[in-house]
Structure formats: C-alpha cells, structure tokens
Structure 1
C-alpha cells in the first residue's frame, strides 16, 4: 500500500493571495528564475518529516522568521497531503501569534480543505484555527492542535520513546500517532527529518550522521522521565515576562512619576498660600 508525501499546498503564503499546489510523488520538474521560490518550497519537505521549522529559514541570509515568511497572515496555511497505507491524510500548519502550530485532518486536501464551499467559509472566518475547528471538523476528523514541533515529530515518526515520555508527563499522543504516523504502530521512523534535511544542505551531512549514531546507541539506555521543569516554574516565567513588558514602558513610567512629583509640589505650594491667606 502506498505511503508518503503526495502534495504540498501553500495558501496565502509567500505567494501572496494564492493557493499553490506542488505534487511530490514520482518526478516533479520545479522550474523558475532566480528568486522564484523553488528552494523556498523544497525546504518545506523536511518540515513535513518533523524538523524544527526555524531551521528552514537562514536568518543570516537576511530572511525573516519562518512564521512571518511562510505564514504571514492569520489565514495563511501550509498543507502537506500524504498517504498512509493508501489512505489520504493531511497536516495543516498555521500561525498562532508568532508560533507555528499543527493539526491533522483525516481526508484529502482537495475534498476537506480546498473545495469551494470550504474556501468560502475560510473567507468569512477570522483565522485558520477558527475555520478548522468550526467548519472542517464538522465534516471530517480533525485532530486537536499540536503546539510544538517535538510533539508533531513524535506523531508523524511514531517516536515510541518520546511518546512514552509524553504520556507520563503531559498526556498521551499515542492514539494520534497510530492514526496519523507514516508507519505502522509497531514501527518508527526516527531521524527521517534529519535525513531529508541533509539532502537540501549537504554541509550538515556529517554532523547529522554523528547525531544519529549517538542517539541510536543511547536510545535504549537513557530516558528522561519528566520535563526539566515543573508547572510551578511557569509562575516565575510569567513574572519575568511581566518585568520584560514593564521595561518596555520604562520611559512612560518615568514621565508619569515626574508629573506626579510636580503635581505634589504644586499642591503643597497652593496649600501654603491658602494657609498664609487665612492668617
């Protein structure tokens, strides 16, 4: 039965205001002049297999972040349609504030996402998240939102070690992995993200090979049983974020304090004048 990436769709992505689809089965001739977006499109293939999206965009080359480049609006989407043992499925990437999030859809993109009725509904919605939750999920099986690339990678690769750890600390993703991973429930495809990435950047081949060898050697010997922080620590994180926000408005606070001190001085002067008049 056929398994693998079938097509990549870009909706309101770096091709502004357009829905673009590129087939990935067999041989595809991707042509265009310099700056047409060929490499930008091909760079998305490792993202499907689970690589961290931020690694796709080279900021040193003067490019913006992944989310601002590939998902510039609230309705922007990257959709990977793929097959698992002959059954068509999709994973949808969209933005949540300044982050990339994921949802799986158990149907082909042309049917579940890009039919005219669904596109009309998207036009009336405020963002892709609302559209997937209110409209697409009414007719098709749509997963919960996956908020990190680590969790997405665990599902698509059926990474058993990560899935076990995740179940102990944050809730199970195993049912999603059984439904949407590229392989059967008794298999896994660890490091396929790295393998697909080095095809695009050959200079990283040796470094990724070393990483895979070490990881394969240690995989059954080391397991982090819980996250390296506790939920209580989030209070400290929140406090730090509050201080950072306050620092942004430091000048306004200083100006307000100076105005308050001047007001106190004027009020004191008026009180003294009033007392002098009464005497």
Structure 2
C-alpha cells in the first residue's frame, strides 16, 4: 500500500464515501484494491473524552463488493486483535467472535451510512435509528453532531481542491451551527462595543500579518505532510517487520525441534548400527575359527591322500584282496588234504606242499 492510498483511507473513518475521496483522481475502485481478501483490514484508533477512552475502528471490504464494512472496538489498538495462535491473520468473520471470547466489546457490522451516523453523532431516519443512537452515545467523536465533517475530511485528502473551496466548506459547517442559535443572541452579538471593534481591528491586522507568512506556512505544511507520510510508511514497515520477526522466531523454533528430533533419530540409528557391527564382528571371529578347523581337517585329508599316493594304495588294496582269496584257497586245500588223508590217499610230496604254501604266501 502506497502513501497516497494510505492517506486516502483516513477520510473513510470520518464517514466520507469512496466516491468523495476519489473525486478528481481518475480512479474508480478503492476498497477492493486496498482490501483484496477476507483477512485484509485497516484499523484506526481515535480518542474520545481522554486517553482513557480509546476506540479502534476496523474496516473490512464487504464480501464480493467494492464497499467497506466497519466494526468499532471498545479498546485501543492491539495487534493481537488481528492474529490467531499460529500468527495467521484472522478473517472478517473470525474477528468479532475472537474478541468476544476475550471479553472485549465489538459493535455489529456497520455499513458506511450507519457508521457515519455513529461516528459523527448524526440522526438517522430508519428502523435501526435507535440502535445507531445508542452506538453513537458510546463511540461518537463528540457529544454534538459533527455535520459535514466527512466532507471536510474528504476535501483535505483531495489533491486538487483549492484552499478557497476548503474554506467555503468549513464556513458552511460553522454557519449551520450558528443557525441553531436564537435570534436574540444574534442581535446582541451585532451590538458591538468600542473595545470589541478595537479588538476586531487588531485581530484583522494580525490576520493580515499572518497572511503575509502564508508561503512559509505552506512550506511548513508541505514538510509536515511529508513527515506524516514517512511516519505512516515507518509504522507500516514496523508492523510488517514485527510480523516477519515473529514468523521467523516460529520457524526457528520449529527447525530447532526438527533438528533435535533428527539428532535423536541419528543417535538411535548409530547405536543400532554399532550393535550390528559388534554382532557381525563376533560372527566373523566364529567363522574364522570354523574356517581354521575345516582347513585343518582338509589339510589332514590332503596329507592322508598324499601318503596313500606315496605307498601306492591301489596296489596295496589289490594285494590285500588277493591275499584274502589265497588264504581262502589254502583253507580249502587244507580241508581237501584232510579229506583225502582220511580216505587213504597218499600225502603229497614236499615239493607240492611247498608250491602250495608259496601260492598262499
């Protein structure tokens, strides 16, 4: 929001209409451009009888339309009115219930003509005139009607209005107030004494002297306007920076919690990994011992195999088989010899016996 747009919003809080504020600017839309979404709002704090009687006017855009709605809060401005617990802007429908929950009085939604009658203490000729009068008693800018103040505020925001036009509007406002006084009082005021005339002449001379200093006053007024604009911009920047700092603090806290959770998860995973490493180391040692045992057994088998190869184990096995067969054959011959001996067959000679024993050997 720029400085010019921000300054144009101020007359709306004195009951001026957007068309009065935009007169001569060449612009047609104001509210929808300034308050684009349901959470967009502009707050204006004002003082009634004293600084102990503060009020805050909150302006939202009516849903789907280019016209403003107003609510008056019976308290001074507080940024927490517009944020929830998550530092998110509240919408126009959430605003009043949240303040009611905090026991803060909030007016019903007021349309522009209703708000004007309340803030300027003007009478309305409508069915809710009594309700507006009760609200005006609690929230109006003054105890008496402030007619035409909305036009004066709109004129001051108009860049193209002349000082003479603004003077005429103010004079018209004063004339309307004076018209309510009695005729007798007006007559008494026309009967001026000499001292009154002298005072009037002195005042006129003083005013003429002041008029000569009008260029200086205009320059000072221009500087004051620039200072006010810078002040408004700094206020807006302060609110934005404060909100950004609060969001940054929230994000930092969330990231800190996430980092702590990730560190705990890492420590837990590292502990599990160390346990797995120790278990794998134990299994590796057991496997090494088993390998050594199997390797020793394998080497023993290889050694026996080499020994058998050296002694020609196959030939030895064949001889063992032949020896068993010859022993069986010798036993058979022995049995045959005994049978023949019993039958009276002459014994074999020594040579034959020797041959037989040689075969057995």
Query: C-alpha distance in 2, partners of 1:170/1:50?
Result: 17
Of 46, 50, 61, 1:95 maps to 61
Give how far 1:57 is off: 3.1
The answer on 1:205 being equivalent to 2:166 is yes
Q: State the TM-score, normalized to the length of structure 2.
A: 0.42
Of 4, 7, 11, 1:46 maps to 11
- Quote the residue 1:8 is aligned against: none
Q: Which has the larger radius of gyration?
A: 2
Give how far 1:112 is off: 5.7
Of 78, 81, 88, 1:110 maps to 78
1:1-279 matched pairs, under 5 angstroms: 14=1, 37-57=2-22, 61=26, 63-85=27-49, 86=51, 87-97=53-63, 98=65, 99-110=67-78, 113-114=81-82, 118-120=83-85, 123=88, 125=90, 127-128=91-92, 130-139=93-102, 140-147=104-111, 149-159=112-122, 162-163=123-124, 165-166=125-126, 171-184=130-143, 187-201=144-158, 202-203=161-162, 204-205=165-166, 208=169, 212=173
Give how far 1:60 is off: 5.9
Q: Relative to 1, partners in 2 of residues 1:173 and 1:80: Cα closer, same or farther, differing over 3 Å?
A: same
Q: Relative to 1, partners in 2 of residues 1:84 and 1:95: Cα closer, same or farther, differing over 3 Å?
A: same
Q: Relative to 1, partners in 2 of residues 1:209 and 1:108: Cα closer, same or farther, differing over 3 Å?
A: closer
Q: Secondary structure at the match of 2:131?
A: coil
CA contact (8 A) 1:132 1:142 kept: no
CA contact (8 A) 2:57 2:73 kept: yes
Larger helix share, 1 or 2: 2
Query: C-alpha distance in 1, partners of 2:34/2:19?
Result: 11
Query: C-alpha distance in 2, partners of 1:40/1:199?
Result: 14
Give how far 1:173 is off: 0.9
Larger strand share, 1 or 2: 1
Q: Relative to 1, partners in 2 of residues 1:144 and 1:169: Cα closer, same or farther, differing over 3 Å?
A: closer
Query: C-alpha distance in 2, partners of 1:124/1:200?
Result: 29
1:12-69: per-residue Cα shift (whole Å, max 9, x none)? xx3xxxxxxxxxxxxxxxxxxxxxx2222222221111111233235863x4512212
Aligned residues: 172
Which structure carries more relative contact order (alpha carbon 8 Å, separation 6+)? 1
